[in-house]
Structure 1
Amino acid sequence: MKTILVPIDHTAAAEHTLAYANKLAVRWPAEVVLLFCQPDAAGQPATEPELAGHEQRLRSLVERLRYQQLTRQDGRRIQYRYRLLAGCLHDHVQAEAARCAADLVVMGLEHVDCGRQEAPGNHAAAITELVACPVLVVPPGRRSLPSRLVFSTDFAALSPAVLQRLSALQEAFPGPLDLVQFYSPTERPRRRQLKQAISKAATQLSWLTTTPHLLEDDAPLEGVSEFCARHQAQLLIIAPTSAGQLLRYFDSCYTTTRAYHTQIPVLVLRSPERQPAVACCDRCAERLELERTKVVLPDYHAVRWA
């Protein structure tokens, strides 16, 4: 049986995250592991009675949601496990994902950890960097499972392992899949290479219906959001090549302006660890060191403000 790990807290948005995971668990099917982490209060770790109280609240939430939003037969089919730990989610999620052999992590966009209220998406981006399995980030709100999917990435640089991970999720997310590759005007000479890469990826995926799209746009992230809006996509799949690129997807300028891609679930596929670049001379060593220390900031000038 597949396993879905759901980091959860006691916020109102957590109900929508769990409700979405429930529907996914029925369709796949999969077991649901609820992970609750209680941050230390005033330097004191959570006690056993406190964790027991949190577990009782989670069990009550589970019983209410499984029978309110699912048929009784479907609700009974889902198996739940509970993991309650003292400390921050960031400190435990990597070990817990490995412990339960999670096939997928489902978490909310606005999950709050360690008592810090950070910009939406920051927690999701951090968790994605910690776990090896795919992470599904669900924004607040009630929604049905997706039937229209968009997969956007740099297919020319995509690892075959990422395509294998995505194919393993086909039963969970059936439906037509649009493959989208954006390129800038300066990359026009590479258009044939990019077209071959996206066509090859389409043949390696297990989806019955895949439609490749090769589009020119000097602002790919905004282009992805507009493409999803035009096609009324219900799930965006991305395979970012860096942590900075992932952070830009959830940047506050997009969540504040309610960009379309922040209003639908986003499935993040983590690429295998790339080998570090090796410098061939002192000048190259200096350049690589600058690239490693450079902070990647959102390109606010590229945002198409209404």
Structure 2
Amino acid sequence: MKTLLVSLDHTAATEHTLAYANKLAVRWPAEIVLLYCHPTPAEPLTEAATAAVLAAEEQRLRSLVERLRYQQLTRQDGRRIRYRYRLHSGCLHDHVRAEAALCGADMLVMGLEHVDCGREEAPGNHAAAIRELVDCPVLLVPPGRRTLPNRLVFAADFSALPLAVLPRASALAEAFPAPLELVQFYAPYERNRRRALKLALGRAAAQLTWPVIGRHLLEDDAPLEGTGDFCARTQAQLLLIAPTSQAELLRYFDACYTATRAYHTCIPVLVLPATAPATAVTCCDKCTERLAQTPRTLASNAELAAGL
């Protein structure tokens, strides 16, 4: 069963986050686990008082769910979604790892302008911190009503991205069955690497299961700005990224981009884990050798396909 873990708060954009998750749950299909963490008050509450507060918040969430599922979906689609509720006292970053593991989340959906512990972080800052805590992809939904995407852009350094990450991206093709554009930027001083970068794009495309995949090798000494410009030119409705560090993710939502409403801050961004899954446990040395050879075989086949 596919599962969306949807983190909600008290910002005005919460409705937009849930509405987008609803549409995604119908298309995939998936169940929705709603996660709400209530800020701890300055004056500690008794256990009974805390339970009463969380019960009131759950009722508030249920009212929101019932309103949105029939307001923005057909009655048939609205009835199809299964919801579960998880409420805690404290901060999201204290509970999200355990909750994602408990429900086996295939994706964490949260607002870009999220509030945690009663503090509103700069857009993207809180999301970057949460991304470090979960193993599943994180979908950041900016404020505003929107439909599910029919134009996707995947921007990354495919020459450095582990191939093992790409099958996890392919698992999302059912949810976002639109043409996918792979974009690899290189600086002017890297022109001698064009062939290697082209091969890396070919290997990435061979690992992905989208029915239509475009490949673009573009020269730009500012890849982040280039990504935003490319998304604007193609009118992309979803950007996939696989940053290799928290600092790199934070740069996507730097204050200068959010203040000027750069294109890539105004569309949903799907952040993929840029690390390989845990190494498989093998029963003997022979199995270990076979598993080690498999990625090399796949890579060799992809290079041959790219050269044809």
Deviation at 1:10, TM superposition (A): 2.4
Residue 243 of structure 1 deviates from its aligned partner by 1.0
Q: How does 1:104-253 map to 2 (within 5 A)?
A: 104-253=107-256
Q: CA RMSD in A?
A: 1.3
* Separation in 2, partners of 1:217, 1:75: 45
Counterpart of 2:26 in structure 1 is 26
- Whichever residue aligns with residue 239 of structure 2, its letter is L
Instruction: State the shift of 1:11 in Å.
Output: 2.1
Summarize deviations over 1:208-251 as a string: whole Å, max 9, x none: 10000000000000000000000000000000111110000111
Equivalent residue, structure 2, for 1:11: 11
Q: CA deviation at 1:21?
A: 0.1
- For 2:238 and 2:110, the matched residues in 1 are separated by 14
One-letter code of the match for 2:6?
Answer: V
Gaps of 5+ in 1: 276-306
Alpha-carbon distance in structure 2 between the residues aligned to 1:179 and 1:172: 18
Question: More displaced, 200-209 or 215-224?
Answer: 200-209
Q: What is the match of residue 291 of structure 2?
A: none
Deviation of the 1:273 alpha carbon = 6.4
Separation of aligned partners in 1, 2:8 and 2:106 = 17
Q: Is the 8 A contact 2:10 2:115 kept in 1?
A: no
2:40 aligned with 1:48: no
Where does residue 69 of structure 1 map in the other structure?
Answer: 72
After TM superposition, give the deviation of residue 90 of structure 1 in Å: 0.6
SS in 2 for 1:119: coil
Q: Deviations over 1:241-281 (max 9, x none)?
A: 11110000111110001000000000000122699xxxxxx
> 2:286 matched to which residue of 1?
none
* Normalised TM-score (structure 2): 0.87
Q: Could you say which residue in structure 2 is the equivalent of 1:95? A: 98
Distance 1:241 1:82 in 2: 32
Spell out structure 1 runs of 4+ moving beyond 3 A: none
Gaps of 5+ in 2: 279-308
Q: Give distance in 2, aligned partners of 1:109 and 1:133.
A: 17
1:266 equivalenced with 2:265 (yes/no): no
> Which amino acid in structure 2 is aligned with residue 17 of structure 1?
T
| Closer/same/farther in 2, CA of residues 143 and 164 from structure 1, 3 Å limit | same
Percentage of pairs with the same residue: 73
Q: When the two structures are superposed, what TM-score results if normalisation uses the length of structure 1?
A: 0.88
- How far residue 117 of structure 1 moved from its aligned partner, in angstroms, is 2.0
Name the aligned partner's letter for residue 166 of structure 2.
L
Q: 1:198 to 1:86 in 2, by over 3 A?
A: same
Please give the per-residue CA displacement for 1:117-151, whole angstroms capped at 9, x wherever unaligned. Answer: 22111111111111000000000000000000000
Q: In the TM superposition, what is the alpha-carbon distance from 1:6 to its structure 2 partner?
A: 0.4
Q: 1:161, CA displacement in angstroms?
A: 2.0
Task: Determine helix, strand or coil for the equivalent of 1:82.
Answer: strand
Q: Secondary structure at the match of 1:182?
A: strand
Aligned to 1:254: 257
